[in-house]
Amino acid sequence: MSIPHFLVHSPKDNVGVVVVEGLRAGTEMLGVITETDTTLKLTAQHDIPIGHKVALKVLGAGDTVIKYGEDIGRMVGAAGEGEHVHVHNLKTKRW
């Protein structure tokens, strides 16, 4: 297996975390779901910094974001599959 570009913790997740430096738009990314040791592929639609999230499916404003199998917040802007998810389009539900 090649080195993954992003990791997904749970099959329930709708975002993954980029684990490589310098990920550029257009990259055919390999992802690993760690709970099941299965792989998936996505195309990066944006440059995404290491440690930031990537949408695994289309997420609209108001959608719940799931990471680690848990609700981590809601989308305040849209993100398509393979797009960058971070503070510009994701907010906590705590405040």
Give tens-digit pLDDT for 36-77. Answer: 999 999 999 999 999 999 999 999 999 999 999 999 999 999
SS3 8: strand
pLDDT at position 94 is: 85
Q: Where are the domains of the chain?
A: 6-91
> Would you tell me which CATH number, out of the four given (3.40.50.80, 3.30.750.24, 2.30.130.110, 2.60.120.10), belongs to the domain 6-91?
2.30.130.110
d(CA 74, CA 41): 24
